[in-house]
Amino acid sequence: MKRLRRLFLAPAWAVTGVLFLTPLAIIWVYSLLSRGAYGGVIWQATAENYQRLFDPLYGMILLRTFVMASAATFFCLLLGFPLALFISRAGRRKHLYLQLVILPFWTSFLVRTYAWIFLLRDTGLINTALLSLGVIREPLPLLYNDGAVLLGLVYGYLPFVVLPLYATLERLDPALLEAAADLGARPVTAITHVIVPLCAPGFLAAGLLVFIPCLGAFLTPDLLGGGKTVLAGNLIQNQFTTARDWPFGSAVSLLLMAIVMIILLVLLRRGERLV
């Protein structure tokens, strides 16, 4: 029995080992080497890459990244919860609505982000419409700023919030809501005092599913932020492309990963008490 179990687990272990642990080890080794002039590394050990992380410039970027990821998570939960609640009570239509939530995944994330550019830019749909209606005289600066990046992140990760919250709401005993109403709670009070507290594990899972990828996001800030909004993801990407400083990029990656691990451990330990 035990041998059989090992046999079945072997492929998963192999994939994890080769495709995850090996690159991780390479990044770790690279982070301790010196940069090559045209990318790559020179085999000369140094701690300089880690020392540079203490530069306030990078601290600011990390801080901005955390603020941006937190804001995106907050708005995703704020918008996703009512949607999940609505779907969970939609009766026979809930499967249709769930399909609609998943529908965007049928199109490439890149294409969808470009679509936002066409909507938001000065000559885009929104500005053109408002200009021709005479609501505004100058195009609104909708694109290439923090707001556009936040919008893009919230848009991109909203489905990731709706699905786990929906799963939690589905499991909720409907009698609990009836009991709340029975005892005098209006619908809003029933939501804030019964549904939300009981969905705490769902909020935690949904929040992590947004927060962690947002920390490493580089495509959205690049396209919608116009290079003005540098987040940790862009910083890492730049080190491997234009800056050609692979060792430093590796060090930043590892730092970000370490921070994520710490957050996960703390939250999951808390989460155990919630469940």
Partner 1 sequence: MAEPDAVLELRGVTKKFPTHVAVDDVSFRVPRGELFALLGPSGCGKTTTLRMVAGFEQPTSGEIWLNGRRIEHLRPYQRNVTTVFQSYALFPHLTVQSNVEFGLRRHSIRETAGRVRKVLELVQLTGKESRYPAQLSGGEKQRVALARALVLEPDLLLLDEPLSALDPRLRKQVRAELKQLQKRIGITFLFVTHDQEEALSLSDQIAVVNRGRLEQVGTPREIYLKPRTRFVAGFLGAVNWINGVGVRPELTRATKDPPQPDLKWARGVVERTTFLGNVVQLEARLESGETAVAELPPGAEFRPGDRIHVCWNAADELPLVEDR
193 binds partner 1 (CB under 8 A): yes
**Among residues 198 and 257, whose Cβ is nearest to partner 1?**
198
Residue count, binding to partner 1 (CB under 8 A): 18
Per CB under 8 A, the segment of 51-59, 123-131, 178-186, 212-220 that binds partner 1 is 178-186
Of these, 3, 92, 137, 186, which contacts partner 1 (CB under 8 A)?
Answer: 186
The answer to whether 115 contacts partner 1 (rule: CB under 8 A) is: no
Q: Restricting to residues 195-224, which ones interact with partner 1 according to CB under 8 A?
A: 197-198, 200
Secondary structure of residue 100 in the 3-state scheme? helix
Token pair listed for 63: 């801080």
| Amino acid present at 175 | A
Closer CB to partner 1, 180 or 232, in the complex: 180
Q: Does 1 bind partner 1 (CB under 8 A)?
A: no
CB of 31 closer than 8 Å to CB of 247 = yes
CB 127 within 8 A of CB 49: no
Cα within 13 Å of Cα(204), Cβ side: 18
Verify binding: residue 185, partner 1, rule CB under 8 A: yes
Specify which residues 39 forms β-bridges with: 37
Residue 182 found at the interface with partner 1 (CB under 8 A): yes
What does the DSSP assignment read for 56-93? Answer: HHHHHHHHHHHHHHHHHHHHHHHHHHHHHHHHHT-GGG
Point out which residues bind partner 1 (CB under 8 A).
173, 175-176, 178-186, 189, 193-194, 197-198, 200
